[in-house]
Amino acid sequence: MAIPIILDCDPGTDDAFAVLLALASPEIEVLAITVAGGNVGLECTLPNVLALVALAGADVPVYAGADRPLLGAFVNETRVHGVDGLGGVALPAGGEPADGVAADVIRRVLREARRNVTLVGIAPATNLALALITEPALAEKVERIVLMTGAWAEGNATPAAEFNAFNDPEALAVLFACGRPVVLATLELTAQALCTPAHLARFRAAGTGRCMRALCDIQATVPLGPRFAGAGSALHDPCAIAWLIRPELFTTRDCTVTMDLGPGPSRGRTVIDRWRRTGAPFNATVLETLDPDGFFSLLGERLARLP
């Protein structure tokens, strides 16, 4: 039976892979896609999602959400994603967003669902947190929360903080405290999903559909930065979707995670106790290792199914 999910995103180049992987996978039933600002502003992330859904020929409602975090403002990453979020690759325009605000829609879907719903967050966690802090009892309808966020070592937005966590650490703290199982794909995990030019060439050879062509064109715009010595760039967000589809590709560790919410250079750091130093109860499962060959095989096979 397909896993019912709400997918919260901020496309973003790697979000594009994640959105289309979810839409291409029968193991997942995407009930709704909610959108926040983050990688770029909401004025770009929302039409990006609408264009991706239309490109896939999918019938999934898309809802606009937060254009700012619970506190302050989002810090965009145009150096990686381009000013439009998709590296300047122009997709045919999609349809219109569905009526409703993301947090309200998340609550409604949870309230009406006959089975518990998995929340998948590959953006700053604002929309998900707003839904749960305004109606906390609905957490009982959440099967689990799967997030691409955090790092147990070095960040990528700051030396301490990963991008999504840095953009709304208060929202992330809400999710860690809500009492539902949380699964984290951190930077250490997503670094193992390193997309090299050779992977991109195999993707182009695997399918000739418009979705695969668009994704390859988008990924080709991502700079090969110094973090991986120019060898490639990490496909962060698809890791969260891949875990839902093929958990056997991953190893995991139960951990205790807290957020650094203070001002200063450590703000947004996910403090991940992997070795039970604090003795505090576990509140998250951290994905630790990935089978990269299996991951890229899955990604290529599923994306080749799309039109």
**DSSP codes joined into one string, 163-229:** HHHHH-HHHHHHHHTSSS-EEEE-HHHHTTSEE-HHHHHHHHHH--SHHHHHHHHHHTTS---GGGT
Instruction: Give dist(CA 109, CA 111) in Å, integer.
Output: 5
Phi, psi of 300 (to 5 degrees): -65, -45
Q: CB neighbours (10 Å) of residue 225?
A: 14
CATH no. for 3-303: 3.90.245.10
166 by Cβ neighbours in 10 Å (0-12 / 13-18 / 19+) ranks as: buried
Q: What stretch of H or E contains 102?
A: helix 102-112
Residue 3 corresponds to which tokens in the numbers above? Answer: 């896993």
- pLDDT tens for the chain, 307 residues long, are 999 999 999 999 999 999 999 999 999 999 999 999 999 999 999 999 999 999 999 999 999 999 999 999 999 999 999 999 999 999 999 999 999 999 999 999 999 999 999 999 999 999 999 999 999 999 999 999 999 999 999 999 999 999 999 999 999 999 999 999 999 999 999 999 999 999 999 999 988 899 999 999 999 999 997 889 999 999 999 999 999 999 999 999 999 999 999 999 999 999 999 999 999 999 999 999 999 999 999 999 999 999 9
- Give 156-172 as a DSSP string: SSSSS--HHHHH-HHHH
Residues 6+ apart with CB under 8 A from 199: 232, 296
Note the pLDDT of residue 292: 98
Residue 237 corresponds to which tokens in the numbers above? Answer: 């967000």
Cis peptide before 12 (omega within 30 of 0): yes
Which residues are annotated as catalytic?
236
Note the pLDDT of residue 206: 87
Cα-Cα-Cα-Cα dihedral sign, residues 257, 36, 166, 20: positive
Instruction: Give dist(CA 51, CA 190) in Å, integer.
Output: 25
Candidates 170, 132, 114, 116; CA nearest to 34 is: 132
Integer Rg of the chain from CA: 18
Q: Do residues 173 and 261 make contact, with C-beta atoms less than 8 angstroms apart?
A: yes
Measured distance between the N- and C-terminal CA atoms of the chain, rounded to whole angstroms = 24
